[in-house]
Structure 1
Amino acid sequence: MSERTPGWYPDPDRPRSIRWWNGSDWTDEQPPQPSASTPALNSESTPETPPKSRRGLLIAGIAVGAVLLVGAGVAVGSSLLNREAPAQAAASPSATKEAEVRTTPSAAAQPTPEAPPAPTVMAVGQTLESKNFHLTVNSAEILDQIETTDGAPLTPAAGTQLVLVKTTYTVTGPNAVDLTCGNYDTFIRGYDSEGGQMAETFETPRIPGNQPCNQKIVTGQTAEWNFAYQMTSGRQPGALVVVDTNFYGEGSWGEENVMALR
């Protein structure tokens, strides 16, 4: 210390204060109050060091700021990724297609539904041999009117035409059958060439060739059975669907049989 010239220096006992060095020793002289004329520290003095408490606050502040900045960066980055993900997916249709390929079963692996077998259609003149009867379609004619055995002829309604179907019916079961006024062993529906159902006229008792009403035919007996339909104009007769209603016992219908009308 003897080499120092007299002057104000940082107090070795109180680092935040200055003290007068007289050239050989430290004195108790108080420094002057700060003013424009206050002498500066000796050029050999060192800068003031912040106290430990301030250094701790400063370091903690820097650390917290860094954490906040890093956290903010992660949050912003995550937000951007979330916003960019749909755009990237939309911009990459190949990835979507690849995902579909992975999740969609192969078309070759999928079973092809089988079409139901086409029904056997019996030709005109061929006999349907059911359990309780035999039935043969002889003809189907489109007529402007159908003559009757009683009263005026049958005429079609507007937009329709008449179809006269002629068949031969043989009883093979044990029950006697009234073909004209109540055949309970046979159920028949008629269809045109476009698949539309033809409408029954319910005029069987008046059509020539039929048995009188309430006259039954018995087992082994054959009779004509003729009936009329109304059909949409411009179409052709299609087919009859015939069911034996007592094939498996009374009231238990058998299979449907298709009989052509042309």
Structure 2
Amino acid sequence: MNMQPDDFLPATLDPPGTIAVIGTTPIGIEAALYGRYLGYDVTLLAGADVWAKRASTKSELQRVGPTFQNDWFARHWLDGKAIDERWNDPLPMLPDRSMSSLAISAIAAQREDAPAALPLTMKEWIEDGLQSVIATDLLRGRVYPGTFVDAVALAPVLADDESPDEAGDDLDDDIPPDFLLSLRREPIGDEGDGNAEAAQLRCECVIVADLPSDFCQLEFDLPTDYFFRVQSSDLPDAAEELRAGWKQIAGIYAGLAGRADLDLYRPQRV
């Protein structure tokens, strides 16, 4: 982490800094993918058990995609119907607007022998589109749709050879603290089998992606450097709603990089 000398400039984080994206929502998946494109060490967690039940999808994808609980899709697309009734209905946006250019490129890189077909229905968007994104090399092994976050606290930064018990309680004013996430259910990485550290995740930055504001306990006051929320803009058009989320993501990472002009969605000159 780097602290800018001017208080009005954002704090920055250089790759491969550690980022936890909380929310395996469409915008959460996109935020994790964007970070991986820039070289950050990203972990994507469901964060909370807020997804509406749906019998029509694979069990491992129950918490991937829209929550359908007071999110944009619940308010503007379900139209009072059950999810399973609308599972095979057309998407509320054109297929080429349902996935970002980064997502399409990441999927295409995995399928060199066959172009990826764009999703047409909600089922295809979640089970083929979003699932294909989290299965790419950039995100494989980094996505935990069965892991919930009970609390997020600030913790002193550890020296390379220092254990959490040795770090002490006082936060150095010159060094931004890490975040310590208290987890439950699916352990992170290969550290299961009752290991206490598997129930925690330490990171330098947190991005909460389209989850309720009270999804977990925050043991610090907001605003806090390196803690971000990507929230619904509640626009009437689905494509514009997604694009507004992508714009928020680009703004967060531009701030972390200390480069106001950084935008991976901007068309490249050829």
Q: Is TM (by shorter chain) over 0.5?
A: no
More helix by share: 2
More strand by share: 1
Normalising by the residue count of structure 1, what TM-score does the alignment of the two structures yield?
A: 0.21
Normalising by the residue count of structure 2, what TM-score does the alignment of the two structures yield?
A: 0.20
Give the structure, 1 or 2, with the largest relative contact order (CA under 8 Å, sep 6 or more). 2
